[in-house]
Amino acid sequence: MLEKALHIEDVNEGDEAPVKSHRLTRTDFVRYAGASGDYNPIHHDETFATAAGQPSVFGHGMFSMGLLGTALTDYVGPGRLTRFRVRFARPTWPGEELRTKIVVKAKRVEHRKHMVDMDCSLVNSEGEVKVVGEATAHLPGRA
């Protein structure tokens, strides 16, 4: 939840957004399957997943992207994100605690708008990167 309205004057290169964390459960995978319509059994059927050579079921990449996207919009505010790209680096497993990391990379003006570029990632408690990406947001000025 957005605690205060973020303005361009509030951020500087190197600033970090508040960390969001989430412990993954199998229920997360099933709920996401229902919400997204992606019922691939690799995400919810242990027997299928192990027969396919996986150690267990694993999370939908887009669920992980959603966790990171939520942290971004919580930081910059709703409707301000103009670009969000990710690369899925590793699978996510039930029981893992995932943490977001968002760092302001640059501030700039584009077409008379104040823009903030950010590096972002989702990592587990061992520091293993699961999702890595970049985002840009438009932040208003105070005046």
Chain Cα centroid distance, residue 67: 4
**Radius of gyration of the CA atoms of the chain, in A:** 17
For helices 61-76 and 26-36, what crossing angle results, to 10°? 90
Asked if residues 86 and 96 have their Cβ atoms less than 8 Å apart, the reply is: no
Nearest to 133 by CA among 82, 81, 69: 69
List the domains of the chain with CATH numbers: 9-138 (3.10.129.10)
Question: In the prediction, which pLDDT does 113 show?
Answer: 93
Strands (E) in 90-128, as ranges, are 97-110, 113-124
Please report, in tens digits, the pLDDT of each residue of the chain (143 residues total): 445 789 999 999 999 999 999 999 999 999 999 999 999 999 999 999 999 999 999 999 999 999 999 999 999 999 999 999 999 999 999 999 999 999 999 999 999 999 999 999 999 999 999 999 999 999 999 87
Q: What pTM was estimated for this model as a whole?
A: 0.91
Give the span between the Cα atoms of 143 and 138, in whole angstroms.
15
Question: In the prediction, which pLDDT does 2 show?
Answer: 42
Question: In the prediction, which pLDDT does 117 show?
Answer: 98
Count CB-CB contacts under 10 A for residue 60.
Answer: 22
Question: In the prediction, which pLDDT does 1 show?
Answer: 42
